[in-house]
Amino acid sequence: MEDKNNFIDPTASTSSQKIKFAERPEDLSGKIIGMIDNTKEQADVILEALGTQLRERFDVAKVIIKRKDHYSKPAPDKMIEDMSREVDVAIAALGG
């Protein structure tokens, strides 16, 4: 695609696909929350503490934490699929 200046738009081949945000629940009471530990140091400590707070303060039913292989690699597809089946709300969480 050439524009009026007679040059090619280099972004022409890039596809911009808009993905809708997952619906946000009104409150977390009774919900199952999932978190992905990115393997950085102390991620487990921070997420355990966060899980405790979520249960105590927001009446969360259960917290599931999954740990990916390496912080520089995406979570494997299976982990994401499992998470989407097992939880009501998922958080991509970071470590220290």
Partner 1 sequence: MCPLDEFEFFFEKEWSDGLPIIPPTEEKINIMLSSIKDSPDEIIGEFPPAFSNVSIYSIAVHGVMAGCKPEYMSLLLASVRAILKERFNLNGLQATLSPAAPFFLVNGPYGKEIKLNGGLGCFGPGFRANATIGRAIRLMMTNLGSGIPGISTMSTFSSSSRYTFCISENEKESPWEPLSITLGFSEEENIVTAIAAEGPITVWDDMSNEPIPLLRSIADTMSHLGSMNICGDTDQIIVFSPQQAKICSDAGLSKEKVKEILLEKAGRPMSEIRNTGRYTASRIKSWSIDADPEDDDFFVPSVKNPDRLFIIVAGGIPGPMSAVMNGWNGTSRAVSEKIYS
Confirm or reject binding of residue 85 to partner 1 (CB under 8 A).
no
Q: Is residue 7 part of the contact set for partner 1 (CB under 8 A)?
A: yes
Spatial CA neighbour of 51 closest among 39, 72, 36, 69: 36
Using DSSP, state whether 48 is helix, strand or coil. Answer: helix
| Residue from the set 20, 24, 57, 70 that interacts with partner 1 by CB under 8 A | 70
The residues, any chain, with a CB within 8 Å of residue 36's CB and separated by 6 or more, are 65, 66, 67, 68, 75, 79, 83, 90, 91, 92, 93
List binders of partner 1 among 23-62 (CB under 8 A). 41
Tell me whether residue 5 or residue 56 sits nearer to partner 1 (CB atom): 5
User: Does residue number 10 form part of the binding site for partner 1 (CB under 8 A)?
Assistant: yes
Please report, as ranges, the residues that interact with partner 1 according to CB under 8 A: 2, 5-8, 10-11, 13-15, 41, 70, 72-74
